Amino acid sequence: MKRRSLLLTGAVAATGVALAGAGAALAVRRYLRNEEQRVDEAAGETFDALDDLAHTTIPTYDGGELHLIERGRVDGRPLVFLHGVTLSSRIWHYQLRDLGEDFRVLALDQRGHGQSIAGTDGYGLAKLARDVVTVLEKLDLHNAVLVGHSMGGFAIMEFCISHQDVLAERVAGIVLMNTSADVIGPRPPWTAGLAKRFVAASGRLPRPAQPLPAAVYLGSRYTFGLDPSPTHVRFIGDIGAALPPEIFAPSVVGFLDMDLRPGLRSVRVPALVLAGSHDRLTPVRAAREIVANLPDAELVVLEGAGHTIMLERHAETNRLISEFAGRLPSPPPGPGG
């Protein structure tokens, strides 16, 4: 009798789990159907490479390669765009397309991402900042505006703190969008060893099977705000799904105890900080902390937007960047423009 009771209990539990799983799958299917029925402002946008893009490869200080794409006015003020983790220079499609009439627009694949190759020093915030120095010096850019999204913002802030001589010589202003000066604050000492093991394991694990389209879409959708284009959501998901885990893990681990706030107080450069009111990854409070610690910064919050304003609010983002760059002083450029 007891055995029959246990079997019955197990069967009921298994049935419950199956029903719950089926219910969740049905809810996901309904959600995805509703997403596809929304008005899609980007429907038909392929994000193919623009016909007049120029490609440049620059060697890094540690033997790697940095890939950049560029278009626009050769004699215009340089706008240098740095993307977030798991993304690539492709994310700046609208900025490359729309800002080239007035500016020289350059978009960098950060080390290990896109077509860039990390050097022997691997990954981490200091290396990303050194790569910014490399781009500015190798291309001999002056009066530049650096624009960083998420991890790209981390890199720009670290560059401003650690390379103030290059900042003063070559950069007129910075734009920090959907980013933070500190991620989760100090962590217990024991997590350092755990993080190292995580990074080591990520290089040994087999590449996972291609993720399900629904999972990719849902993960990407989380980074958007209230009313994104499904085309934009899929575009982000496609880029992110292509990044190998052995690059993602070491790229992220170094940010877990990042705190750039004290260093920002010594940075003297005009800054525009852009945030989305519905950004779940780097919320508005993170943007406010940046502004509180940067001596010459202004904050603009885009209502309803999420973590990817360069896509979901591209026209407004481009206007804000253009107006900010237009207000900056323009001393005579150096030999490289």
* Residue 337 identity (one-letter amino acid): G
Residue 16's pLDDT is 46
Q: Is residue 43 part of a domain?
A: no
CA distance 109 to 105: 14
- Provide the domain count of the chain: 1
Count helices and strands in the chain by DSSP H and E runs: 13, 8
CA 184 remoteness from chain centre: 17
Helix pair angle (230-241, 2-36), 10° resolution: 120
CA 319 remoteness from chain centre: 20
Q: Is residue 58 part of a domain?
A: yes
Phi, psi of 274 (to 5 degrees): -115, 135
Q: Is residue 111 part of a domain?
A: yes
The CATH code of the domain that includes 272 is: 3.40.50.1820
- The domain containing residue 137 runs over which residues? 54-327
Q: Which residue is associated with the tokens 């990074």?
A: 199
CA distance 162 to 60: 17
Q: Is residue 215 part of a domain?
A: yes
Q: Is residue 5 part of a domain?
A: no
Q: Is residue 262 part of a domain?
A: yes
- Cα dist from 112 to 96, 191, 248, 249, whole Å: 21, 24, 9, 11
pLDDT tens string, the chain, 337 residues long: the values are: 555 554 445 444 444 444 445 555 555 566 666 676 677 989 989 898 898 999 999 999 999 999 999 999 999 999 999 999 999 999 999 999 999 999 999 999 999 999 999 999 999 999 999 999 999 999 999 999 999 999 999 999 999 999 999 999 999 999 999 999 997 555 555 555 555 555 455 455 555 555 567 888 999 999 999 999 999 999 999 999 888 888 888 888 878 789 999 999 999 999 999 999 999 999 999 999 999 999 999 999 999 999 999 999 999 999 999 999 999 987 655 554 4
Q: Is residue 271 part of a domain?
A: yes
Q: Which residue is associated with the tokens 């804000």?
A: 320
Q: Is residue 34 part of a domain?
A: no
